[in-house]
A and B are shown apart, each in its own frame.
Chain A
Amino acid sequence: EVQLLESGGGLVQPGGSLRLSCTAAGFTFSSYAMNWVRQAPGKGLEWVSVINVSGDLTYYADSVKGRFTISRDNSKNTLDLQMNSLRVEDTAVYYCARKELGNRPFDYWGQGTLVTVSS
């Protein structure tokens, strides 16, 4: 059974940093691109970042470019999101989601971890 489990969320002050992790199980992690998607309270889904299977190609939404860094460790089946210079508008539930290679959808999602940026 495919499982994705996010961790690391919490309360942080504006300008602070937080590191999210996503632990994968039940599939060959190194065969899938991985994404972070977020959802602000009461709002829709916003794609945040993607990393390719080998970890050497990444993309970011304009809203987080230069502040967030995505990375992966295929030996540990983990995906990370380092979030720096956090803003109030970064408050959201953060989901990790896997994606097959090519023009494919996000077929499995974790349950999400809540990040709250507030003073």
Chain B
Amino acid sequence: EIVMTQSPATLSVSPGERVTLSCRASQSVSSNLAWYQQKPGQAPRLLIYGASTRAIGIPARFSGSGSGTEFTLTISSLQSEDFAVYYCQHCNKRPPGSFGQGTKVEIK
């Protein structure tokens, strides 16, 4: 089983700041990595897949990078609507992915 580990658990930032979230896989997942955003009371929303491809409708301030076991989600300039919990997930076919434990981005 592939274990996904995210860091930090919580990030306190001010609007306009650049934010970097990390995700590590216990073994290589190539570029089969997705990022999701979840706001309170809502379902998760796909942000990034294939480690670096933005999903439909996702603003350009969100970017993903990495391959193998180390991945990063960057928000170039944090907007008020970006305060949320972010999860990474490996997208291997069999079985499909376990999730990281999440990083909460909160207002400083």
B-binding residues in A (CB < 8 A): 33, 35, 37, 44-47, 50, 59, 95, 99, 102-112
Name A's interface SS: strand
State which residues 85-104 of B face A: CB under 8 Å. 85, 87, 89, 91-102
Using Cβ atoms and an 8 Å threshold, which residues of chain A touch B89?
A: 45, 47, 105-106
State which residues 22-65 of B face A: CB under 8 Å. 30, 32, 34, 36, 38, 42-46, 49, 55
Write the nearest CB–CB distance from A40 to chain B, whole angstroms. Answer: 12
In the complex with contacts A44-B101, A45-B87, A95-B43, A102-B93 CB distance below 8 A: yes
Q: Which of B44, B49, B96 contacts A50 (CB 8 A)?
A: B96
Q: Which of A46, A103, A109 contacts B91 (CB 8 A)?
A: A103
Complex formed: what's the CA distance from A105 to B97 in Å? 8
Closest to A60 in B: B95
A-binding residues in B (CB < 8 A): 30, 32, 34, 36, 38, 42-46, 49, 55, 85, 87, 89, 91-102
Complex formed: what's the CA distance from A46 to B25 in Å? 16
Determine whether the beta carbon of B95 is less than 8 Å from that of A103: no
Determine whether the beta carbon of B49 is less than 8 Å from that of A112: no
Determine whether the beta carbon of A59 is less than 8 Å from that of B87: no
Complex formed: what's the CA distance from A100 to B100 in Å? 21
Using Cβ atoms and an 8 Å threshold, which residues of chain A touch B100?
A: 44
